[in-house]
């Protein structure tokens, strides 16, 4: 079963990359790989709970989260709902995916003591700067928005986390702060194991990684126990820990 990091979050993210100009061409292999990944529909609906563990210089917060995959009318949705805790309100985000179609984002925030309102449509340009419950996961990260960027180049494959990987470089000079993403994609599962995001000056602004022990095949199915995303500029890290079945 292909691992959809857009659901498990599915996604992002140790080569050092220097500053360089954004290229103007994609290669056919890169476009083909990006299309395969972004159009890979989940095989069935699913639901899982977990915890967002947010660590910043000022705070350490644990926030319960529930993630769902819904399949309907040729589209599939990933829905993330967090529980209000302390001074953090409850949030819900919905990412609508469809083959060869841009992602659609819906966002809702429940004020303290209030029920969750109907989500409103969020412009795609705002997805990179809107975060789930104050964590380091932006909506664009969760949706693997970089797979929709216009420039996709497949580079020489590499080993990461002990796995044989494709290496994909995605670029979009108009995306916002993060204009380039290098992602290492497991050849067996098609899951993004590691991704690194850079700004136009070549500075790393985000890095995502699965731990090798948390990504494994159990009874013929891929399981992900946790994933980590780090924002160097904020010196903030979020771990998304999933509640996996014990059997």
Residue 186 CA to residue 190 CA, distance in Å, equals 5
The alpha carbon torsion through 235, 90, 178, 10 (nearest 10 deg) reads 100
- The pLDDT confidence band at residue 170, using thresholds 50, 70 and 90, is very high
CA distance 94 to 76: 10
pLDDT at 90: 94
Residue 99, classed as helix, strand or coil, is coil
The string of pLDDT tens digits covering residues 185-233 is 999 888 889 999 999 999 999 999 986 555 566 566 666 778 899 999 8
What pLDDT is stored for residue 116 in this prediction? Answer: 92
The full length of the chain comes to 247
Q: pTM to 2 decimals?
A: 0.82
DSSP 180-231: EEEEEEETTT--EEEEEEE-TTS-EEEEEEE-GGGEEEETTEEEE-EEEEEE
Question: For 5-242, CATH number?
Answer: 2.50.20.10
Average pLDDT, integer, range 61-82: 93
Q: What pLDDT is recorded for position 217?
A: 60
- By the 8 A CB rule, do 7 and 45 touch? no
Distances (CA, A) of 112 to 79, 116, 117, 119, 210: 21, 10, 12, 16, 33
Distances in Å between the Cα of 7 and the Cα atoms of 135, 182, 223 are: 16, 20, 12
Domain boundaries, the chain: 5-242
Q: What is the pLDDT of residue 138?
A: 93
Across 45-68, average pLDDT: 91
Tokens of 184: 């290492």
């Amino acid at each position: 079963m292909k691992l959809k990091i857009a659901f498990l979050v599915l996604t992002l993210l140790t080569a050092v990359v220097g500053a360089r100009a954004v290229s103007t061409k994609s290669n056919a292999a890169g476009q083909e790989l990006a299309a395969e990944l972004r159009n890979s529909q989940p095989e069935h609906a699913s639901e899982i709970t977990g915890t967002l563990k947010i660590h910043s210089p000022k705070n350490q917060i644990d926030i319960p989260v529930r993630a769902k995959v819904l399949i309907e009318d040729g589209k599939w949705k990933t829905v993330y709902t967090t529980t209000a805790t302390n001074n953090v309100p409850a949030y819900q985000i919905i990412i609508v995916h469809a083959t060869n179609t841009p992602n659609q984002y819906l966002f809702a925030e429940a004020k303290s003591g209030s029920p969750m309102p109907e989500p409103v449509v969020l412009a795609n340009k705002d997805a990179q700067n809107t975060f789930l419950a104050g964590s380091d996961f932006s909506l664009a990260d969760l949706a693997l928005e970089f797979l929709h960027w216009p420039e996709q180049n497949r580079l020489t494959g590499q080993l990461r986390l002990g796995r044989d990987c494709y290496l994909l470089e995605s670029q979009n000079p108009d995306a916002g702060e993060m204009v380039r993403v290098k992602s290492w994609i497991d050849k067996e599962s098609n899951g993004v194991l590691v991704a690194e995001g850079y700004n136009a000056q070549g500075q790393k602004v985000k890095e995502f990684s699965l731990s090798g022990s948390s990504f494994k095949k159990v009874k013929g199915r891929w399981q992900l126990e946790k994933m980590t995303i780090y924002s160097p500029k904020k010196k903030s890290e979020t771990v998304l820990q999933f509640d996996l079945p014990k059997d």
